[in-house]
Amino acid sequence: MKISGILGLGLLALSGATAFAQAPAHPWLTTDILDAAKAEGQITVYSSTNEGEGLPLWKIFEDATGVKVNYVRAADAALMGKIALEARSGQQSWDLINTPTANQLPTALMASFNPPEARNIMESAHGPEGRWYGVYANYNSPAYNTNLVKPADLPKTYEGFLEKKDWVGRVAIEGTDNEWMNAIFTQYGADKGKKLIQDLVATLKPVVLDGHLAAGRQVAAGEYAVLLNQYTMLTLNLKLAGAPTDFWAMDPVALFFGQVAINPKAPHPKAALLAANFMLSAEAQAFAAKTGRIPTRPDTPANPPDAVPKLTAAKVLPIALSGDQVKASQKLFDELFGKR
């Protein structure tokens, strides 16, 4: 749906203390902004979250507010390209984006905003200048097939993988794990970290897979026994569905976020602000946790509840790469692991 309209960035930089009054039914539902959002009538959300999770979540928002949600789902790269194309052409279709790569947008394409529910999320989930906020925590950890590998046989460090020579051909990694690679470099130092990865590749000959969900399913199906790294929330998603898979945590645990950001020229800025506040709420994050997504709110438990304590028992390293850093990291990753 084509939507047009230009509104200034300043309308979005609102103070939670002075501009919002909360309604009792949904604590995130700020009544003064709700009236303005209803007048706008709709919102266009760009998201990389699959429709099976995204549409039921946004149905909660629609039912609570009466604001229609136009849900545009695509892969991260496609959404970023679509936004860049719209910016060059002067078209303004999107109001809000929910994707792990929102922080890679140019600063001029992200409004600075201050939703009241942001005060309840972990500090590392606040983007610079309030230009994005983390709505779920994407912890990274190895994953394994519980029918093929015993917990007692799991390495306790990445160096421990070098002793698993019998795992050759049984280990895989997804081909875009830039955050994990950078966490390894931060933990070990660039030179030692690069040498560790080279040794892992030489010893285990890991297969490079395309897509984290597909990789998780392949491990759950027994095509591979172990993933060197995986998005923990996807491992939990499969485990909750009954698949024979689980995770374990080792230093370092790379952490980045599924983020929400707002178009500074949003056609529906009030609806976008209300929607962002909803995504940071306990109601939205508890709903997302049902499928394994890990909340950024300490007051909202993960599913299962012991997931975060297990992860944070290891050293957690928040990683936020710019677009240029991703390109350079992907080039190095391809050099180390080989292209898919």
User: How far is residue 112's CA from residue 302's CA, in Å, rounded to a whole number?
Assistant: 28
Q: What is the percentage of the chain residues whose pLDDT exceeds 90?
A: 89
Mean predicted lDDT score pLDDT of the chain: 92
**8 A C-beta contact, residue 334 and residue 178:** no
User: How far is residue 127's CA from residue 37's CA, in Å, rounded to a whole number?
Assistant: 24
The whole-number average pLDDT for the span 134-154 is 98
| Domain total of the chain | 2
Q: Tell me which residue range forms the domain holding 184.
A: 140-255+307-337
Within a domain: residue 240? Answer: yes
User: How far is residue 73's CA from residue 48's CA, in Å, rounded to a whole number?
Assistant: 5
Q: Name every residue whose Cβ is closer than 8 Å to that of residue 80 and which is 6 or more positions away in sequence.
A: 99, 101, 104, 105
Shared-domain flag, residues 89 and 71:
yes
- Provide the strand spans (E) within the chain: 42-47, 68-73, 96-99, 133-145, 171-174, 207-209, 226-231, 245-247, 253-262, 294-295, 316-318
User: What pLDDT is attached to residue 10?
Assistant: 36
pLDDT-wise least confident of 11-20, 38-47, 273-282: 11-20
Shared-domain flag, residues 148 and 250:
yes
Using 50, 70 and 90 to split pLDDT, how confident is the model at 340? low
Shared-domain flag, residues 92 and 237:
no
pTM of the shown model: 0.87
Q: Which two tokens stand for residue 171?
A: 């280990």
User: What pLDDT is attached to residue 5?
Assistant: 36
Shared-domain flag, residues 17 and 123:
yes
Cα–Cα distance list, 271 to 39, 45, 60, 263 (Å): 9, 10, 14, 12
Shared-domain flag, residues 151 and 170:
yes
pLDDT at 233 over 80: yes
Q: Which two tokens stand for residue 109?
A: 């394409």
User: What pLDDT is attached to residue 47?
Assistant: 98
Within a domain: residue 46? Answer: yes
Cα–Cα distance list, 24 to 114, 197, 315 (Å): 21, 52, 39
User: What pLDDT is attached to residue 17?
Assistant: 37
Shared-domain flag, residues 261 and 251:
no
User: What pLDDT is attached to residue 16?
Assistant: 39
Within a domain: residue 235? Answer: yes
Using 50, 70 and 90 to split pLDDT, how confident is the model at 24? low
Place of tokens 């909360």: 22
Question: What DSSP state is assigned to residue 315?
Answer: -
Distance of CA 320 to the CA centre of its chain: 11
User: What pLDDT is attached to residue 11?
Assistant: 35
pLDDT in tens, 88-125: 999 989 999 999 999 999 999 999 999 999 999 999 99
pLDDT in tens, 269-323: 999 999 999 999 999 999 999 989 999 999 999 999 999 999 999 999 999 998 8
Shared-domain flag, residues 84 and 153:
no
Q: Name every residue whose Cβ is closer than 8 Å to that of residue 304 and which is 6 or more positions away in sequence.
A: 236, 240
